Structure 1
Amino acid sequence: MQTVEYRKSDILVTEKTARSILSNSKVHTYALNAYNGCEHACSYCYARFMMKYTKHEEPWGQFVDVKTNAAELLKKEVLKKQKGKVWISGTCDPYQPLEKEYEITRACLQVLAEKDWPVIIQTRSPLVLRDLDLFQQFTKIEIGLSIPTGNDRVREIFEPSAPVIDERIKALKELHVAGLRTYAMIAPLLPRTENLVTSLEGVVDYIIVDKLNYHYADHIFKKLNREQYLRKEYFRQAANCIQAECKKRSIECRIVF
């Protein structure tokens, strides 16, 4: 595996030649991760477990491996594998800032569009709007943005390097107005979600709700004396409120815990 390393601000960027790009997934048929690591550096991110495979010593959010040959691999793999839904992405944000420079997610989408494979996208970034032209080439595609809180002060604590909440909602609206199927991931359930459904009305086809399943951010809640937001009672109450608000507005709501 060939590698080239350089630093961009405080991020160690490593360009790598990968051996494969489509992996089997328990969530959808396949997952496609054009990057290992993520510049958004969300404190709670479950994908931190990838560090034991990448062997990085840098803190989470301070390294990104770029799979420079992802699209070339995909061209070969779509000819060999049975067609199935491709999740972009499972362990990284496909539209993190480096994607603006490398356009690897876009190149992979071009391959999938040509073969008309079904795709589901999950991101936190309004950069997703760049590929609106490609999305409209698919027969089956869904685009979702992760929005775990409705409050930017909370977002700054847990997702300091991720785009602001309002920008994510505006991106969803633009995608939805363009006639695309959209969804919001209210996950993990952080504090201050009570107004999210109102903001999402008319801009999503459905909402997915999930709790905080890992413990990477527990220390933040403890430091702020907000451990009540780690309890089962909070997750259940918040999910029930979101579900009730969705029902009022005829929005499909999927609670997955």
Structure 2
Amino acid sequence: MTTMPTLFIPHGGGPCFFMDPDGGPADPMWLPMQAYLAGLIDSLLERPKAILLVSGHWEEADVTVHVGSGQPLFYDYGGFPEHTYRLRWDAPDAPEVAMRAKALLEGAGHAVGEERARGWDHGVFIPMMVAVPGADIPLAQLSLRKDLDPAAHIAIGRALAPLRDEGVLIVGSGMSFHNLRARGPQVTPVADEWDAALVDAVTDPDPARRAERVAAWDTLPHAHFAHPREEHLLPLMVALGAGGEGAAVADYRDHVLGWAVSGFRFG
């Protein structure tokens, strides 16, 4: 069995890829991101048997595994057209993957909770509707820790790394830039400078130095402008930690809302 890479993907803004009630194309601004997401599974050497996804939209005091069904979905966005609250992504859940993740995390000394009732949030179902439109890959969701400690989330990823040899694709779903109050072309020069520094840190060829630099994300230029609160960046830490000693590449970059947005692949 092929060792899976790990991914940090942008999940867009709300239901951005599905705004047309008749199923027409997204706003052209979102089309490159949509194309990137649509090609993710085909870019792998082997189709994953399951996905373990960490979304920037779920936080708990302790890292928590979702061991129930992800249905009905959790439409945790507001102010969008009515039809976007009826979107469907009916993939099977993967409780055995969730429990395996829990065992790995507990074995590494992490306190782990379980959750059964919460539906998958839009950090899950929006990008997965694009990446896995057939909804035919089982998925388990993992929360962030509310303390948003970057080194702890890298350690969480490291504990999960054995899943990569078991056919599980580990995905961090967030945004590399996420300041909802700053939009438009005037933001782009600052966003570009932040993005260049982030990409340089994430793709550092030395894995130990890479982890140190990314854990110190808030020392990078314009860090707190890019992320007034860092919950959308923390899934990157998990993906990086799980990626181990392998290569790290930026495999997506584009501009939306005036933001530079990147995606990363590890291992």
Q: Shorter chain as normaliser: what TM range?
A: under 0.3
TM-score, normalised on structure 1? 0.27
TM-score, normalised on structure 2? 0.27
